[in-house]
Amino acid sequence: KRRCEMAKVCVPLAKGFEEIEAVSLIDVMRRGGIEVVVAGVNEELVTGANGITIKADTDIKYVVADELDMVVLPGGWDGTHALAENPTVQSLLKEMNEKQKIVGAICAAPFALKTAGVLPEHYTCYPSVEEQIGNLEGYTDKEKVVIDGNVMTSRGPGTAICFGLAIVRKLVGEETYQSLREGLLADYC
């Protein structure tokens, strides 16, 4: 990726997504200079787990892997199951992984990475979701963000800002990451 090009990330939203995670990730990445495309899964107005509705920029069926640097999935059980069961989302995750592009998920959403066959050995997720995933040896609850190859995972709502910052660090660079971290008062990340 040339430094002068803006990184582009897709955040798919399905009904029942975790709002704190989605909004925090979208906000932090945009503050970091990343172009973020919010893609609705089956609907343009997507309602999250806590009744907050977000208007998608596009439909997931129009998202093209070659135009992206990353796809990152917010959690929320209902949203995660919808992402895990949606053939378009699953195909996009597989294609991104095959092209060695970055794939990310937070909270329950690493489950949708597992169903796509792209969850690496080392990961983190919301406590108890690792039981649904099944790879207990590779799971850790000691880190806010785990990076294994081209896959990034994070724990849940409380780690969403740190996850967004880790994505900025990976796609934009250390200087922007440090500046943004200071501006957000996120010295815990």
Q: What is the H or E stretch that residue 92 is in? A: helix 87-98
Name which of 171, 39, 168, 92 is nearest 183 in CA terms. Answer: 168
Ramachandran region, residue 153 (left: φ > 0; alpha: ψ -120 to 50; beta: rest): beta
Burial class (CB in 10 A: 0-12, 13-18, 19+), 163: buried
Q: Which sign, positive or negative, has the C-alpha torsion 161, 52, 151, 37?
A: negative
Tokens describing residue 183: 């501006």
Tokens describing residue 95: 């294609």
Residues 6+ apart with CB under 8 A from 36: 8, 9, 10, 11, 26, 29, 30
Catalytic residue from among 107, 125, 162, 189: 107
Is 189 catalytic? The answer is: no
* Spatial contact of 35 and 10, defined as CB atoms under 8 Å apart: no
Residues catalogued as catalytic: 107
